[in-house]
């Protein structure tokens, strides 16, 4: 369960079913749902019941996945929600807006929804179309803010996974579900989370005009605190099937470190970190590299990418080898093994980025505007 993707509902809907002060909000959703369910579908129904009974204080999108199904749920008003199953051969890219489109109320295998949602929409004349039930258009917003802040990120994700399709980055009609033009890999997900419109005029560090380079909100940007991929491998037993790939700081300048959730501890550097710089905090160790690279971006980023590539190869190999070993263990022995692996991998990334920081600081000393070179003729 990944909660949540903050979204926005329109004034028409909220005028009929406003958000509830004191209703459930995103910080509580995982706590009151995940420990009590065994499947993605059960998770949706439990959270849906809580929202129906107690209301919610905000619009959100929540992803639920188990080893068989992936579902995306959206809450569009104080008490009404829908959820759609993402097909096994498809993907969804969602930004900070309600994304689910046409609801098929006769297809319970692929759609779930709050009881009475059709009657609520009809009684309050909320559907802008005479036919169909497009949740995004009924409950969501379609504003210039969406077209600057959200739809361009969806556009770029679909551009990465379906490069053969031409679309407008400000379009409000980008589809919720798409089938990629190739089989997608973990690297496709991490590349997307690390992206900033590379290869387009909208890249903040690209070749576009000043206006183009700052027109849209990038995916990986300087204020990012962390990025993650929650991976479930259906071919492995539940104890080791899940892996969280966690990049601290700005994903474009960080590295996705694998973490087995079945462990009992993490590296000490992952337990600390405040808003003010701390040299022994995992977040600040990765962030430090980004700050150093930013000052001389085009010169220093190739050095960062070199370290990223080496670590990515190391982590891929290590996860594969560790899975084989983990299959032979159980109980406390398995927990201890997974914990040891997590801490070892976290230490590897920290050490590599500390060494990279040292290198960048050394190189930066030659970049000072106070440098002076004596004329060879003197």
Q: Decide which of 166, 200, 221 is a domain's last residue.
A: 221
Question: What mean pLDDT value characterizes the chain?
Answer: 96
- Model confidence over 105-159: pLDDT tens digits? 999 999 999 999 999 999 999 999 999 999 999 999 999 999 999 999 999 999 9
Kindly state whether residues 252 and 203 are assigned to the same domain: no
Last residue of a domain, one of 93, 113, 141: 141
Q: Give 47's pLDDT tier (boundaries 50, 70, 90).
A: very high
Residue 378 has pLDDT above 70, yes or no: no
The two tokens of residue 359 are 């290198």
Query: Residue 349 contacts by C-beta under 8 Å, 6 or more apart in sequence?
Result: 255, 257, 286, 311
pLDDT in tens, 167-214: 999 999 999 999 999 999 999 999 999 999 999 999 999 999 999 999
pLDDT in tens, 209-247: 999 999 999 999 999 999 999 999 999 998 899 999 999
In a domain, 157, yes or no: yes
- Give the model's pLDDT for residue 238: 87
- The answer on 11 and 131 residing in a single domain is yes
Please check whether residues 239 and 346 belong to one and the same domain: yes
Q: Is the per-residue pLDDT at 371 higher than 90?
A: no
**Is there a domain that residue 132 lies in?**
yes
Same-domain pairing of 93 and 31 = yes
pLDDT in tens, 57-89: 999 999 999 999 999 999 999 999 999 999 999
- pLDDT for the residue 201: 97
Question: Residue 344 belongs to what domain range?
Answer: 224-366
pLDDT of 376 over the 90 cut? no
Q: Which residue has the tokens 């258009």?
A: 137
Are residues 8 and 87 located together in one domain of the fold?
A: yes
Per the CB < 8 A criterion, the answer to whether 74 and 44 are in contact is no
Q: Are residues 265 and 330 in the same domain?
A: yes
Mean predicted confidence (pLDDT) in 307-331: 98
């Amino acid at each position: 369960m990944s909660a949540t993707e903050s979204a926005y509902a329109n004034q028409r809907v909220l005028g009929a079913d406003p958000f509830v002060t004191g209703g459930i909000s995103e910080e509580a959703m995982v706590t009151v749902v995940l420990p009590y369910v065994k499947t993605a579908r059960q998770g949706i129904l439990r959270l849906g019941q809580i929202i129906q009974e107690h209301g919610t204080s905000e619009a959100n999108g929540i992803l639920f996945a188990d080893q068989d199904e992936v579902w995306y749920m959206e809450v569009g008003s104080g008490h009404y929600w829908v959820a759609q199953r993402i097909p096994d051969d498809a993907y969804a890219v969602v930004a900070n807006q309600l994304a689910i489109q046409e609801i098929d109320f006769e297809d319970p295998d692929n759609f779930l929804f709050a009881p009475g949602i059709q009657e609520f929409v009809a009684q309050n004349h909320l559907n802008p179309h005479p036919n169909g039930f497009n949740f995004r258009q009924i409950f969501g917003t379609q504003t210039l803010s969406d077209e600057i802040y959200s739809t361009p990120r969806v556009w770029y994700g679909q551009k990465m996974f379906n490069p053969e399709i031409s679309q407008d980055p400000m379009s409000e009609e980008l589809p919720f579900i798409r089938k990629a033009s190739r089989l997608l890999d973990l690297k496709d997900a991490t590349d997307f989370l690390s992206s900033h419109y590379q290869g387009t005029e909208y890249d903040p560090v690209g070749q576009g005009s000043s206006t183009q380079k700052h027109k849209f909100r990038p995916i990986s940007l300087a204020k990012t605190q962390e990025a993650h991929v929650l991976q479930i491998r259906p071919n492995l037993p539940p104890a080791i099937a899940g892996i969280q790939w966690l990049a601290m700081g700005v994903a474009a300048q960080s590295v996705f470190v694998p973490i087995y959730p079945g462990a009992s501890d993490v590296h000490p550097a992952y337990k600390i970190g405040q808003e003010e710089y701390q040299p022994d905090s995992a977040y600040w160790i990765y962030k430090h590299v980004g700050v150093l690279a930013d000052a001389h971006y085009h010169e220093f980023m190739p050095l960062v990418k070199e370290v990223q590539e080496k670590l990515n190869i190391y982590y891929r190999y290590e996860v594969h080898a560790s899975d084989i070993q983990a299959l032979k263990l159980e109980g406390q022995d398995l927990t201890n093994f997974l914990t040891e692996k997590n801490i070892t991998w976290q230490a590897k990334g920290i050490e590599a980025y500390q060494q990279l920081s040292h290198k960048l600081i050394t190189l930066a000393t030659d970049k000072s505007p106070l440098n002076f070179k004596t004329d060879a003729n003197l």
